[in-house]
Each structure stands twice: as C-alpha cells, then as structure tokens.
Amino acid sequence: MQALFRDLRFGARRLATSPGLAIVAILTLAVAIGTNVAIFSVMSALLLRPFPYRQPEQLVSIQVKDETTDHGGTLLRYELLRDRARAFESIAAWANDDFDLTGVGEPRASAGGARLSELFRDTRCEAADWPHVQRR
C-alpha cells in the first residue's frame, strides 16, 4: 500500500512540473470516460434491457418493400394481411412520418407516428410502459 501512495505522489509531482500536460491528460480522461458512459447507456437501453412486451418472443415484424414507390406498406396491404393471414393471432400497423408544426413563431419540423389498430392491446403492453408515447 505504501508503494501505491509513493507512486501517486511521484505522478502528482511529475504532473505539477508540466501543468499543460496535466490539463490535457485530465481532459482526455474526462472525455474518454464520458464517451464510454454515453455509449454504454445507449447500448444498455437498446440491447440489454428487454422490450416492455409481455411475450416478446411471439412478436414478428413484417416490412413491405415496394420497388415502384418510396413508401412500402399501404392501408390496403395492411387490411388484406389483417383479414386473410391465419398464421397470426392479430396484426397491428403503424406509420412514421415527419410533420411541420405551425402556429406562433416559425414553423418547426417534427417526427411523429400514427397507429392503425389497437397496437397496445395486440402487443399486450400499456402506453405507460413507453414514456415517449402519448395517448389521445
């Protein structure tokens, strides 16, 4: 333990002799630790925590790729899948879109989405499980 304190005192004396190097070293460590924490927080939220569904292993995502237009699935395709697909207990749909909010001040672009069915009932989760989702 005395060797550790001796090494720490030696390191502090060396850093005190060149304060510019000390500042650069401390800032580098601070940025590296902050970046590491930020990346781990994102990875933890996206990959390590389970989704707030009651039975996530039973969920399937179907995406339609249409080569003729920029948008894939349509309401007609959703209704056909919902009415004719027998392999699924239920089918839910949602759409993401960009909106321009106007009113007081300058117009502002905002991302949003809409659901076309009882998405929360179909996934057996509550809107309270998703803090960024607002019910109307």
The tokens for 3 are 């060797």
Burial of 81 (0-12, 13-18, 19+ CB in 10 A): middle
Q: For the chain, what are the domain ranges? A: 2-48, 56-125
The alpha carbon of 54 is separated from its chain's Cα centroid by a whole number of angstroms, namely 19
Q: Are 102 and 125 in contact (CB under 8 A)?
A: no
Q: What is the pTM of this model?
A: 0.39
Give the pLDDT of residue 120: 62
| pLDDT number for residue 24 | 92
- What pLDDT does 35 receive? 96
Q: What is the pLDDT of residue 14?
A: 87
Q: Could you report the average pLDDT of every consecutive run of 10 residues in the chain (136 residues)?
A: 93 87 92 95 80 72 66 71 79 72 78 62 58 50
